[in-house]
């Protein structure tokens, strides 16, 4: 095992000639894919790894300057692919890792057969003619809550993000991986993610993108999936699932697994422009804003914990 593989706890499972790379989002690690992996190891070589800063990585390897932008994580991804010797893969990125895959694919499109983007957003902050779901004050309260009492923040954030209560197995699992992060690193990573803005590079993406979104997600309004679809430079398709929460692969694996398997096999024509809204029908911006106004209120409540 090479130095990069060891640092990122890289595992290569399964068999076959094709590679699938699974990348996790904030507050989790590669275990977030535990329900999905058994469904693909018979047909693919499956690569799992941990983003630097995850609780399973060595905090001594975390460089705050390198990881002050998503480009640092993209460089890590490319280094992992190079060290393993992968010349083409299907990349499945959850949350921030979808944007990490976007950056990496712009640099090396030859390495990516397609991107499957789960619960992803190019920008979390609202802007003129763009609804990302958060105002700056919401994020300031979030960062303050992390800095003041990380454990209390985790207890409040985990059920909100997953879409359940603390008795939920999925919430308990997310809480476990959140707690595993060193608090100061969690604060740096959260700032990097929530303050990022990748909108200006979306048109540079040339590889096919499959955008998979939960109908209800406190971190990513469903209209963001349509924004991605309209602004990505390459062919794309959107599927909105009848699920609740930002980590549907943990909370609703029975729904998510068939969707992921379908998009792994699905090839998008270069001229295609498709949408597949399973249960989402004509939800307007005002209804989404009501939902996210409630979310903002909850985020502020967490800061008081």
**Residues carrying an active site annotation:** 95, 217, 246
* CB 77 within 8 Å of CB 104: yes
Decide if 75 contacts 64 (C-beta within 8 A): no
Q: Do the beta carbons of residue 110 and residue 77 sit within 8 Å?
A: no
105-133 burial code (b ≥16 CB/10 A, e <16) = bbeeeebbbbbbbbbbbbbbbbeeeebbb
Q: Please say whether the dihedral angle defined by the alpha carbons of residues 256, 49, 203 and 224, taken in this order, is positive or negative.
A: positive
Per the rule left: phi > 0, alpha: psi between -120 and 50, beta: everything else, 282 is left
Backbone angles phi, psi at 189, to 5 degrees: -65, -40
The two tokens of residue 43 are 């047909």
């Amino acid at each position: 095992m090479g130095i990069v593989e060891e640092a990122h706890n890289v595992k290569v499972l399964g068999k076959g000639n094709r590679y699938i790379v699974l990348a996790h989002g904030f507050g989790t690690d590669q275990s977030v894919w535990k329900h999905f992996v058994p469904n693909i190891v018979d047909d693919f070589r499956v690569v799992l790894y941990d983003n630097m800063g995850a609780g399973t990585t060595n905090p001594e390897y975390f460089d705050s300057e390198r990881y002050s932008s998503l480009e640092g994580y993209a460089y890590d991804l490319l280094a992992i692919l190079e060290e393993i010797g992968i010349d083409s893969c299907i990349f499945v990125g959850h949350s921030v890792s979808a944007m990490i895959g976007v950056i990496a694919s712009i640099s090396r499109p030859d390495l990516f057969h397609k991107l499957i983007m789960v619960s992803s957003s190019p920008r979390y902050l609202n802007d003129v003619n763009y609804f990302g779901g958060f105002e700056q004050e919401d994020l300031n309260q979030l960062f303050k809550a992390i800095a003041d009492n990380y454990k209390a923040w985790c207890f409040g954030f985990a059920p909100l993000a997953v879409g359940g209560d603390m008795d939920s197995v999925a919430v308990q699992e997310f809480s476990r991986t959140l707690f595993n992060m060193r608090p100061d690193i969690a604060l740096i990573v959260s700032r990097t993610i929530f303050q990022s803005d990748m909108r200006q590079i979306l048109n540079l993406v040339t590889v096919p993108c499959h955008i998979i979104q939960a109908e209800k997600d406190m971190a990513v309004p469903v209209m963001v999936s349509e924004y991605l679809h309209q602004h990505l430079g390459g062919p794309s398709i959107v599927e909105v699932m009848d699920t609740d929460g930002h980590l549907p692969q943990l909370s609703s694996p029975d729904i998510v697994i068939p969707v992921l398997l379908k998009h792994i096999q699905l090839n998008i024509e270069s001229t295609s422009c498709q949408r597949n809204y399973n249960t989402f029908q004509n939800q307007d911006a005002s209804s989404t804003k009501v939902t996210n106004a409630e979310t903002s209120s909850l985020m502020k409540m967490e800061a008081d914990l």
